[in-house]
Structure 1
Amino acid sequence: MPEHPAEPNDPADSHLIEHKVHSQELLHGHFLHAFRDTVRLPDGREASREYVRHPGAVMIIAQLDDGRLVLERQYRYPVQAVMLEFPAGKLDAGEQPLACAQRELREETGYSAASWAHAGVMHPVISYSTEFIDIWFARDLTLGARKLDAGEFLDVFTAAPVELLQWCRDGRVTDGKTLTGALWLQNVLSGAWTLDWQTAAHWASGR
């Protein structure tokens, strides 16, 4: 299972760390892989932890030459609502995050990007999943044909950054990854945070 590299635990945090004693598989579905682990707590007692293993995902903050953002509207069955989101998608087995970002942007929106910048990583549901989302910025876009997966239905539209930030403020955007993307976007546009823009080929060669 690919996992985003994490910083090693600080020895000073040993009083917080839990250690796996036993693991039981609960579900191995098409998408979800769920487990119940028995862990030893820092005080020596045991407890149960249920969680979902996830291969990881990417999110793309794609900006047109005029500054407008490429966004999506997609129905999300678990919350029974159409959500406003940045383009995103799950990593295929063995797939590198940038390759996934390129593929998902092209398939879902039709756009390809000549320039990419890696922003960071987020863990959206740390209490019950191993999922991480790699955050990428994309620019110098060219539009081609979309190639949605079977059973995938979504609308693609563009909006100015100020519109997206207002939707976050008003509660129209509640998707966690998109809210995190908006935080990155706001700080990049203000100059508070900087990005290392490179071609896809540069990133693929190992930065």
Structure 2
Amino acid sequence: MSDPNRDPLAERTAASEQVFDGVMLKVWRDAVVLPDGSKGVREYIRHPGAVVVVALLDDDRLIFERQFRYPLGRAFLELPAGKIDAGEDIRACAIRELREETGFEARTWQHVGVMHPCIGYSDERIEIFLASGLTHVGHALDDGEFLEVLELPVREVEALIRSGEITDAKTITAFYRALPFIGAAART
């Protein structure tokens, strides 16, 4: 990774102002000095970060959710995910989100990596976890949270991605990042 102080493409912040302070999203507008010394404006969203969980059942099916997403006006198939609370450990967040949304707890947790879903307009990062050794203990959905929990075979997930039925970027990225760890048995 390059050092922003030495990167010839780096932009330097000259001024920064918050233009919107929402419940979760914070919008900023910065004046920047571009690599050639000219000036520019950057508008972006500050996001607290999130986790996504690839939850693997013993029979090689994955836990999915079907959830309505208001900005696009329809339900999507997604892996369990959620926002990191201020000061919260990322693994603790993954454990909490899996339990709250799906009712499952996992014996084994593995951090698979991180993704940045919206690099052109947000600092959001999504930490990817693989959870296995699942036990169903009952969900504890947040107030105002409505979703369906499904169990999908790995091969079916791949087919749904290829057919365009699964289009959620965090789900597609997390699935393919975790796939090598799931093992060949799950793909047969």
| TM-score (normalizing by structure 2) | 0.94
Q: Partner of 1:104: helix, strand, or coil?
A: helix
Query: Offset at 1:72?
Result: 0.3
Match of 2:150 among 149, 152, 157: 157
**1:38 is aligned to 2:31:** yes
State whether residues 14 and 42 of structure 1, in contact with CA within 8 Å, keep that contact through their aligned partners in structure 2: no
Q: Partner of 1:25: helix, strand, or coil?
A: strand
Matches within 5 A, 1:123-138: 123-138=116-131
Q: How many residues align?
A: 184
Aligned equivalents of 1:110, 1:38: Cα separation in 2: 46
Which residue in the other structure is 1:194 paired with? none
Aligned equivalents of 1:182, 1:64: Cα separation in 2: 14
Aligned equivalents of 1:185, 1:170: Cα separation in 2: 20
Residue identity opposite 1:147 in structure 2 = A
Q: Partner of 1:108: helix, strand, or coil?
A: helix
Query: Offset at 1:81?
Result: 1.4
State whether residues 54 and 62 of structure 2, in contact with CA within 8 Å, keep that contact through their aligned partners in structure 1: yes
Which residue in the other structure is 2:76 paired with? 83
Aligned equivalents of 1:66, 1:190: Cα separation in 2: 12
Deviations 1:27-66 (A, max 9, x none): 0011110000001000001100000001110000000111
| TM-score (normalizing by structure 1) | 0.85
Aligned equivalents of 1:164, 1:51: Cα separation in 2: 32
State whether residues 56 and 91 of structure 1, in contact with CA within 8 Å, keep that contact through their aligned partners in structure 2: yes
Change (3 A) 1:125 1:163: same
Following TM superposition, the consecutive aligned residue runs of length 4 or more in structure 1 with deviations greater than 4 angstroms are none
Matches within 5 A, 1:7-86: 7=1, 9=3, 14-86=7-79
Query: Offset at 1:10?
Result: 6.5
Q: Partner of 1:188: helix, strand, or coil?
A: helix
Match of 2:95 among 102, 105, 108: 102
- In structure 1, the gaps of 5 or more residues are 1-6, 192-207
Which residue in the other structure is 2:106 paired with? 113
Match of 2:86 among 89, 93, 97: 93
Match of 1:167 among 154, 157, 160: 160
State whether residues 112 and 178 of structure 2, in contact with CA within 8 Å, keep that contact through their aligned partners in structure 1: no
Q: Partner of 1:75: helix, strand, or coil?
A: strand
Q: Percent identity?
A: 47
Deviations 1:95-121 (A, max 9, x none): 010000000000000000010111000
Aligned equivalents of 1:9, 1:48: Cα separation in 2: 22
